[in-house]
Amino acid sequence: MRRPDVIKPVTILAAVLFAATAAAAPSNRVFVTNERGDSVTVIDAATNQVVGTIDVGKRPRGIGIAPDGSEIYVALAAENAIAVIDPVAMEVVRKFPSGDDPEAFAVNTNGYLYISNEDDAKASVYNPADGSLVAEIKVGIEPEGVAASPDGSKVVVTSESTNMLHVISVPQHRIEANILVGARPRSAAFSPDGKLIYATSEISGEIKKIDAETYKILGVGTLGDERAKPKDVLVSLDGKKLYVAGGRANSIAVLDADALVVLKKIPVGERVWGLAMNRDGSRLYTTDGVSHQTSVIDTASEKVIATVATGKFPWGVVVDD
């Protein structure tokens, strides 16, 4: 179903209302937050061309998309707020306060945002429909990465200084497990079948594989490069490969998800932190922060097929498709 192009303000308003009440057709765009540009770069996924730049507010970092694709959320660290973006109109439609210094968050299947509050040792749950605070959960010191399970029943929060993963049950919003991992755990991701959790530790350079039911650690791997501080991690759609952003190693490591060994490193730009995958798993998008660009990777050939100039110091990326 194709939505009609809308160019007049009145019809834009109608389109926003339409989007709010019915499942939105995807914009087929990639959205990148520019931490020092105070903006979001919008890239057309079919052409890899920049189609817009949205002024979102101060120090945007984490970015996520609503389950129905109707809204994109951006954490504004310097405004202590979440900006809500219409992905078709490419504009900020509202903002709501979020707690101090928001950085990373996950959007769960229930539509709520699970935000790690780095300075307050807690995770906050917000309903973006009305900006209300649903719950606060005490976690370890310097919470960072947040990942929601595919079925929405669990949310994992990493605490960097306490070296732990905390598993939060949804909707009870209580901690049901605490798992010790390597030094400075940064990011976590569930396998598509929800049975495994993968977590990266920045200082120990490790990737750990954890059973999502028993919480036992099943395996550990490393990126094998002293400069690599693993950041974002994603699991391929078939669950067989991991993609790990390697920070100053300036590459995406492709690992065998079972053996946790590096199969290949895909060179990208400098200081790669963020990673996103499209719906059919054919494309990866990176944020190469110091190169001020996004690299587009074809996952079949495991090669960069395009680089797209973004704003200053791109941080997070999400795909609406």
Binding site for another protein (CB under 8 A): 118-119, 121, 140-142, 160-164, 166, 174-180, 182-184, 201-206, 215, 226-227, 229
Choice between 60 and 143, CB closer to another protein: 143
Q: Which residues pair with 39 in a beta bridge?
A: 34, 55
Choice between 26 and 62, CB closer to another protein: 62
- Given a contact cutoff of 8 angstroms between Cβ atoms, the answer to whether 123 and 63 are in contact is no
Q: Please report how close the Cβ of residue 216 comes to another protein at its closest, in angstroms.
A: 9
- Given a contact cutoff of 8 angstroms between Cβ atoms, the answer to whether 73 and 66 are in contact is yes
Q: Please report how close the Cβ of residue 78 comes to another protein at its closest, in angstroms.
A: 14
**Can you tell me the distance from the alpha carbon of 64 to that of 71, in angstroms, rounded to the nearest whole number?**
9
Q: Please report how close the Cβ of residue 175 comes to another protein at its closest, in angstroms.
A: 8
Work out the number of other CB atoms within 10 angstroms of the CB of residue 263: 12
Q: Which long-range contacts (CB under 8 A, 24 or more apart) does 73-78 make?
A: 73/105, 73/107, 73/113, 73/128, 74/33, 74/40, 75/102, 75/103, 75/104, 75/105, 75/115, 76/102, 77/101, 77/102, 77/103
User: What are the structure tokens assigned to 263, written together?
Assistant: 């199969």
Choice between 87 and 221, CB closer to another protein: 221
Choice between 212 and 233, CB closer to another protein: 212
Choice between 99 and 140, CB closer to another protein: 140
Q: Please report how close the Cβ of residue 3 comes to another protein at its closest, in angstroms.
A: 43
Q: Please report how close the Cβ of residue 289 comes to another protein at its closest, in angstroms.
A: 14
Q: Please report how close the Cβ of residue 291 comes to another protein at its closest, in angstroms.
A: 19
Q: Is 105 left (phi over 0), alpha (psi -120 to 50) or beta?
A: beta
Choice between 84 and 168, CB closer to another protein: 168
**Can you tell me the distance from the alpha carbon of 237 to that of 185, in angstroms, rounded to the nearest whole number?**
23
- Given a contact cutoff of 8 angstroms between Cβ atoms, the answer to whether 105 and 128 are in contact is no
Choice between 85 and 228, CB closer to another protein: 228
**Can you tell me the distance from the alpha carbon of 100 to that of 57, in angstroms, rounded to the nearest whole number?**
15
Q: Please report how close the Cβ of residue 257 comes to another protein at its closest, in angstroms.
A: 22
Choice between 184 and 241, CB closer to another protein: 184
Q: Please report how close the Cβ of residue 64 comes to another protein at its closest, in angstroms.
A: 22
